[in-house]
Amino acid sequence: MASPQNIVNAAALQKDIVDSFSTSVTISSSPQQQFSYMSSSPTNSFMSPTGRRLSTSCAPAKALKPFSTGDVKILLLENVNETAIEILKGQGYQVEFHKTSLPEDELIEKIRDVHAIGIRSKTKLTPKILAEAKNLVTIGCFCIGTNQVDLEYAAEKGIAVFNSPFSNSRSVAELVIAEIICLSRQIGDRSIELHTGTWNKVSARCWEIRGKTLGIIGYGHIGSQLSVLAESMGMQVIYYDVLMIMGLGTAKQVSTLNELLNKSDFVTLHVPEIAETKNMISTEQFNQMKNGSYLINASRGTVIDIPALIHARKTNKIAGAAIDVYPNEPAKNGADLFSNELNTWATELTSLSNIILTPHIGGSTEEAQSAIGVEVSTSLVKYINEGSSVGAVNFPEVSLRSLTLDQDNHVRVLYIHKNVPGVLRTVNEIFAQHNIDKQFSDSRGEIAYLMADISDVDQADRKSLYQQLLQTPFNISTRLLY
């Protein structure tokens, strides 16, 4: 494995390239930005932008060497799992780790120099913060959600954002199963009572879950896993999704949300935070639910109208609810943080019986956090070292197979640009004196990303290539790996 990259300033760049046997360079469109020199690690197989595995040639993959000896700087916040730290340090990157999120002013100070940042759900990467990130190449969200990042602004800056959409699916599904049982048996209330010395052995309005109907709103990775677990425990499963999806086991899709609400004893939400899902369960939807049914939300805090939920519970329209996510959540752990100052209804919600409230722990298991650490950090490494944007949530997904050891004097061009006519003609004219071994380009909205492997490129050619690409009117960010 090659050692990590070095950072040199723009003023010294031309002399360094002429005088040194460089192997990788990142060029920013901003004259104030530094230039990052990247290495690439060999792999045995690659995923195409469509997700299919691409076979490699018989020749061993080529480990691209770094330009010099400095480190790529990575900032990890919010107690990102140790697996991520190990993977990133294993690349030779310089990793700074914090167990919590950072205040905005401190975050702005630190983000100015880093090439990648890893966060979870509490850190908000706004345009104000990202505008200061002069060297930032990529962002890793070590969670499912990415709403804490301004994805459009990041794309405009040429910053690819990666997340972990699958790794904590099982953990969330298991939590929901536990909450279904706890609600049906009023376990939360009995536990609180006994902790205060009250013995209250009752069976009234306590139920088995066998034979009950679970309605799942959003039949994605979590919803489908939950479906299998619930059915194995004797529940009947129905689900509602905006897409037609084949159910697992005997689960059946219903055509409308109201149909699901009418038929379900337990309703659980597993949807993203988008305009269409804001307050998707409010007064009208509670009125459609069965009397004495239960509601569970482990998706996003804005999908339930909490005041409407409070009313539904006070009037016994619903027999209980379990909430793991909230419209506004504390930025750190500590006493007295979940208060009316954060959410005006907090005191009223916490006073209700048979309401399970958990602090956004759906994916908080050792197994899930370890898997997330591996998944996201691997995506960051492949993007930094190889340019692969497969899995990016705000970016065109582009990848090329590895260079091999028998391919000398090759350069991999990573050109992020405005999605306007004439770009490919201009770029290929720049490449005209060299052979284009392979090339792939894709676009997403106003952003496009081109990768190309160019052969017969010496040191002087590399200097000329990146200078010409940098000066094109379409350029957002250009990197050369070699």
pLDDT at residue number 17: 33
Look at residue 349 and tell me whether its pLDDT is greater than 80. Answer: yes
Residue 342: pLDDT over 80: yes
Q: Please state the φ and ψ torsions of residue 55, each to the nearest 5 degrees.
A: -75, 150
CA distance 193 to 175: 22
Residue 267 is predicted with a pLDDT of: 98
Annotated catalytic residue: which of 300, 313, 410, 462? 300
Phi/psi-derived region of residue 211, left when phi > 0, alpha when psi is between -120 and 50, beta in every other case: left
Q: Choose, from 329, 401, 434, 444, the residue flagged as catalytic.
A: 329
CA 167 to chain centre: 10
DSSP string over 412-444: EEEEEEE--TTHHHHHHHHTTTSEEEEEEEEEE
Q: What residue ranges in 318-434 does DSSP mark as E strands?
A: 318-323, 355-357, 411-418
Q: pLDDT higher for 62 or 187?
A: 187
User: Of all residues in the chain, what percent carry a pLDDT higher than 90?
Assistant: 73
Q: What is the pLDDT of residues 93-118, one digit of tens each?
A: 999 999 999 999 999 999 999 999 99
Cβ partners under 8 Å of residue 291, min gap 6: 316, 317
CB 477 within 8 A of CB 27: yes
- What local confidence, expressed as pLDDT, does residue 110 receive? 96
Q: Are strands 116-119 and 73-76 parallel, antiparallel or unpaired?
A: parallel
pLDDT digits (tens, 9 = 90+) for 375-384: 999 999 999 9
Question: pLDDT value at position 44?
Answer: 32
CA 336 from chain centre, in angstroms, equals 29
Contact present, 137 and 74 (Cβ < 8 Å)? no
Whether 427 has a pLDDT exceeding 90, the answer reads yes
Specify the pairing of strand 293-297 against strand 266-269: parallel
Domains and CATH numbers, the chain: 7-166+367-408 (3.40.50.720), 169-357 (3.40.50.720)
How does DSSP classify residue 347?
A: H
Q: Tokens 């290929």 — which residue?
A: 428
| Integer CA distances (angstroms), 433 to 22, 315, 382, 407, in order | 21, 77, 29, 18
- pLDDT above 80: residue 397: yes
Structure tokens at 10: 């723009």
Q: Determine whether 300 is an active site residue.
A: yes
Burial environment of residue 265 by CB neighbours within 10 A (0 to 12, 13 to 18, 19 or more): buried
Token pair recorded at residue 366: 């050792």
Average pLDDT, the chain: 86
Q: Look up residue 269 and give its two tokens.
A: 């939400």
